[in-house]
Amino acid sequence: MIKNAFIYRLVSPIGTPVHQTLEDALQVAAFVPCGATQEKSIGWVPPRGHEHGALLESVGGQWILKLMTEIKSVPADVVKRTAQERFAQVEAETGRKPGKKERREIMDDVRMALLPMAFSKQFATLVWIDPVERLMVVDAGSQGKADTVVTALVRSIEGLALHLISTQTSPAAAMAWWLSMKESPNSFTVDRECELKACDESKAVVKYGRHALDIDEVAAHIAQGKMPTRLALTYNDRVSFVLTEGLQLKKITILDVVFDTHRSISGELEEIFDANVAITTGELGKLIPALIDVLGGEVSVTEAAESETHGANSETPPHTGDGPDPLYDDAVAIVRAHNKPSISMVQRYLKIGYNRAARLLDAMEAAGVVSAMRADGSREVLV
């Protein structure tokens, strides 16, 4: 049911508002398909797939939501060819070549004219919230898509504050230790897939697939300065996954042994949905704390809440909302250094809450440092 996991901790409980209040908040942002000239539409849809069904499902106290994204796009080469015809027409009628501003306006007009004929693509992203443990998992394949979902959720639920979970030991350092020592952490086994990347300017990458990793060659790569960025693991012979350097879980697969005890479930869709939710959240609800534990424990919610106000450095003055954020220059430097302007990355490096990181990206967009968020949730460094 959940194949990828970006893992967040809620700074404050969200179980206080009644379930119907949250349902009403999501209904305000329910999904509406793209209009004729609309490039993108985002909104909440019923997780069970029922038309007019509930947008917030609760199964055994676990909450499931689903965000739908629809994108309409015209192939760039089609826009370019059509615009070139318009450029030639302007030159033939006026005896001059259109200027830069006029060319841009023509390109925009062409794109808008072609949008009604464009095919749309829809994709849905699941969100799991454990209101008791204040845990949230976003089933997104990329950081940009995860940012899109969390931004939509923060806008839908007033007062929601959360942060990406951080651990005392970085996943990269822990993975390097496990591979160098040829030992698996408690309750986990190292599988046969990993990626190592050099930290120097060469950025050399070594990948192992379907290959034993308890060999001297892997340890030698690490000794030479290559750090693990991905490592396949299995938890208690029940769930396999790939751990990334950013503490995301990829390729999550619940193994057959887990389902062997649930073979009696009938084919009714309602029962299948409930069973899948119960099994998935039950297994991940054990795996995630165990993983945090072998990574030295979690940076506490109290620390994260303080960093939401004060930033990564306790001496950094709090941002009250008046004037520029004192962490703005640091955030810009991080975005430029990594050429990857994402809310999650700024949040992780500065150790601040999601909401403050989002405001920093918005400020960069207003200043022309980064582009507006694209349909897939990504941004581009402009300066």
Q: Which residues contact 355 (CB under 8 A, 6 or more apart)?
A: 154, 161, 308
Angle at 261 between CA 257 and CA 266, to 5 degrees: 120
Pairing of strands 188-198, 162-164: unpaired
pLDDT at 161: 85
69 burial (CB, 10 Å; 0-12 / 13-18 / 19+) is: buried
Compute the distance between CA of residue 142 and CA of residue 65 in angstroms, rounded to an integer: 18
pLDDT at 56: 95
Return the axis-axis angle of helices 328-338 and 354-366, rounded to nearest 10°.
80
| pLDDT tens digits, one per residue of 104-145 | 899 989 988 998 888 899 999 999 999 999 999 999 999 889
Compute the distance between CA of residue 93 and CA of residue 283 in angstroms, rounded to an integer: 68
pLDDT at 375: 63
For residue 319, the SS3 value is coil
- Cβ(194)–Cβ(206) below 8 Å: no
Mean pLDDT, consecutive 10-residue stretches, the chain (383 aa), reads 95 67 91 91 95 93 96 89 93 91 91 88 95 95 91 85 91 96 95 94 92 95 94 97 96 90 61 92 97 92 48 45 81 87 83 84 90 77 83
| CA–CA distances in Å: residue 298 to residues 5, 60, 291, 292, 293 | 17, 26, 10, 6, 8
150 burial (CB, 10 Å; 0-12 / 13-18 / 19+) is: buried
pLDDT at 261: 66
First-to-final CA distance of the chain: 40
Compute the distance between CA of residue 119 and CA of residue 43 in angstroms, rounded to an integer: 19
Q: Which residues contact 356 (CB under 8 A, 6 or more apart)?
A: 308, 319, 325, 327, 347
Compute the distance between CA of residue 145 and CA of residue 3 in angstroms, rounded to an integer: 14
Compute the distance between CA of residue 31 and CA of residue 54 in angstroms, rounded to an integer: 13
Compute the distance between CA of residue 197 and CA of residue 213 in angstroms, rounded to an integer: 15
For residue 277, the SS3 value is helix
Backbone angles phi, psi at 323, to 5 degrees: 80, 180
pLDDT at 337: 84
- Cβ(368)–Cβ(383) below 8 Å: yes
- Sign for the CA dihedral angle at 214, 219, 221, 227 comes to positive
Neighbours of 116 (CB within 10 A): 11
pLDDT at 262: 62
Contacts 24+ apart (CB under 8 A), 45-48: 45/124, 47/126, 47/273, 48/269, 48/270, 48/273
- Sign for the CA dihedral angle at 194, 341, 343, 331 comes to positive
- Cβ(40)–Cβ(72) below 8 Å: yes
| pLDDT tens digits, one per residue of 314-373 | 444 445 555 688 999 999 998 888 888 888 888 878 878 788 888 898 899 999 999 887
